[in-house]
A and B are shown apart, each in its own frame.
Chain A
Amino acid sequence: MPDQPGRNAIEVRDVSKIFGSGDARFAALDRVSVAIRENEFFTLLGPSGCGKTTLLRLIAGFDFPSEGEIFLYGEDIAPLPPYRRPVNTVFQSYALFPHMTVAQNIGFGLEMLGKPKNEIKARVELMLKLVRMEALANRRTSQISGGQQQRVALARALAPQPKVLLLDEPLSALDYKLRKEMQIELKRLQNETGITFIFVTHDQEEALTMSDRIAVMSAGKILQIGSPRDIYDRPAERFVADFIGESNFLPATMVSKQDDHATVRLTSGAEISASLPQNASPAGDVTVVVRPEHAQFAAAANGAPLAGTIENVVYLGTDTHFHLKLDTGEPFIVRRQNARGHADHREAGSRVGILIPADAAQVLRD
């Protein structure tokens, strides 16, 4: 559960991974620290090249950190080879053994651990049932579909009951509908097995729907760790706000602070209340972020904290995006949900006022 601080399954402490040397020296991970709790669905989210897969490989043991320690339930596993770590991986390409049947693939880990035959058989049957693949147990892996291969890869990694399951963009090869199904399926498997999942993805929607907590990564660093709601509603940095969902960025000046809130003055001269980021005390000139759906239209342009002209209206079925140009020059997007019979008739060219509700604005750290 996200908000119960449980034991840490994985603890990464000041881990760096340097590739190359001299001018070609490149830090894929730059002093990264993160603690992943027991039974958590934890997601490493970021664009390609941000270091998320490198971190996963270090936890799996396919590569070793240049600096730092990785603890699995308190034991430093960083120097251990992959076959000595009670951690299993679901590979992006699935990496099923083509010369074995579905059942043999699932039983492979247990066989390598030297478990008795009857125990392996029982466990394989259980796993086949768990991923609903009983009917295809004796098929070759080349004779089943991509979605089925995905399930076999999951069953194979879960069969030895790892302490942590690592998933490296496992859904990226599936088509949209199957991916949606597998998202729900993964969440169900995690609940049923109670195993800690560490999931790597570049897909923000995937991260938001499945995770208990998300770590947003960029350029070898973790920028923010939090629940999907935290990350979305309270992005601490511009990159996070930009990478996840759409955002309006407004320049502002700090006026006063009280606890986790501040009053900031926008360039329009209006003062609004905004939340402050954790572990940082911004001062002077700052940037405030407002999600398009959190902004509201005022009854009139005059007297509203922000005012501007609608430049474009984009109808998206479930909602409508109003692209504005503020009087101060910045672009701004307002998103309104469409309701039947309540179509919004504001048109391009009309002047509008915008309200920022008390909890809608967030001051960025950078």
Chain B
Amino acid sequence: MSKRRSFDLRSQPGFTFVALLTFFMLYLPIAALVVYAFNAGSSMAIWEGVSLRWFYSAASNERVQEAAMRSALIAVCAALIATVAATMAAIATTRTKPYPGLTFKYAFINQPLMVPEIVTAVALLIVFSRIKVWTGYSGLGYLIAAHAAFCIPFAYLPIRARLESMDLTLERAAADLYATPWKAFRHVTLPLLRPGIIAGFMLAFVISLDDVVITEFVKSGGQDTLPTYMLGQLRRATSPEVNAIATVFLLFSVVLVTAFFFINRRKA
């Protein structure tokens, strides 16, 4: 044979097996969780037929409702704050000439990705407990602030990627056509940045929604979010109600990701 064959990973022995095993290990537990959410019985091990019983049960549980509302409220507020901060940070770090210390700034913005979450959690617990004593305020503000802080890098990355791939001549053209810096931002940069901002917001929202560690440390009494509520439930007795909640969670994130995928594709 004169045809030269290049190295192809897919033709190596065992490739298919390893790939299938990986997918299996990744998705089997999730599949099991979803299947047992529809179990008619109250055990997580014995299958007793199909039922929506646990979905009704979860939906009518007041504590689940409260936790879900609280989670949504925190996630929306935190994602909004994080997206605005991340957009400003992304503009400040891309629309500038490189200078010494810029890399340090990237690291600073992305700090929550590098510092172990538990460290941040303990630190916030200490600081917030002091502030609680001084101010007497113990509302959701602490959770929102904490979530916003660790969501910033997740919102920052897609926005910065979008800004970096943007043609700088467009902003120059806007300035040439009498747009002041603010108008150029408002009419040219921002509309072109929108897919990045939406991606950043969604990412921040999802990250906030499923946080456990920081929430568990920072929350005051009666401030359970959906994930900490679920954790609390599992500590006592396992109930398929938790499976039902997790299934809804899963459906929600799949819908979100799919929606974002289509929004992004239509823009491009």
Contact = CB atoms under 8 A, between A and B. Distances in A.
Nearest to A89: B176
B176 A88 contact: yes
B132 interface: no
Contact of B179 (A62, A83, A88, A89): A83
Question: Which residue of B169, B173, B183 has the most chain A CB atoms within 10 A of its CB atom?
Answer: B173
Q: Which secondary structure dominates where chain B touches chain A? A: helix
B177 A93 contact: no
Nearest to A111: B187
A82 interface: yes
Contacts of B178: 83, 109, 112-113, 160
Interface string A81-94: 11100011101010
Interface string A125-159: 00000000000000000000000000000001100
A345 interface: no
A156 B188 CA distance: 15
Contacts of B175: 61-62, 81-83
Interface residues of A, number: 23
A112 B179 contact: yes
B170 A95 contact: yes
Nearest to A88: B176
Interface string A39-71: 000000000000000000000111000000000
A126 B187 CA distance: 24
Contacts of B188: 97
A318 B170 CA distance: 44
Contacts of A156: 177
Nearest to B184: A83
A209 B2 CA distance: 55
B174 interface: yes
A98 B192 CA distance: 8
Question: Which residue of B178, B183, B188, B192 has the most chain A CB atoms within 10 A of its CB atom?
Answer: B178
Given A89-B176, A109-B177, A156-B177, A95 B192 contact: no
Given A99-B192, A156-B177, A82 B172 contact: yes
Given A62-B172, A62-B175, 16 more contacts: A60-B176, A61-B176, A62-B176, A82-B176, A83-B177, A87-B176, A89-B176, A91-B172, A93-B169, A95-B167, A97-B170, A97-B173, A99-B192, A108-B174, A109-B178, A112-B187
Interface of B: 167, 169-170, 172-180, 183-184, 187-188, 191-192
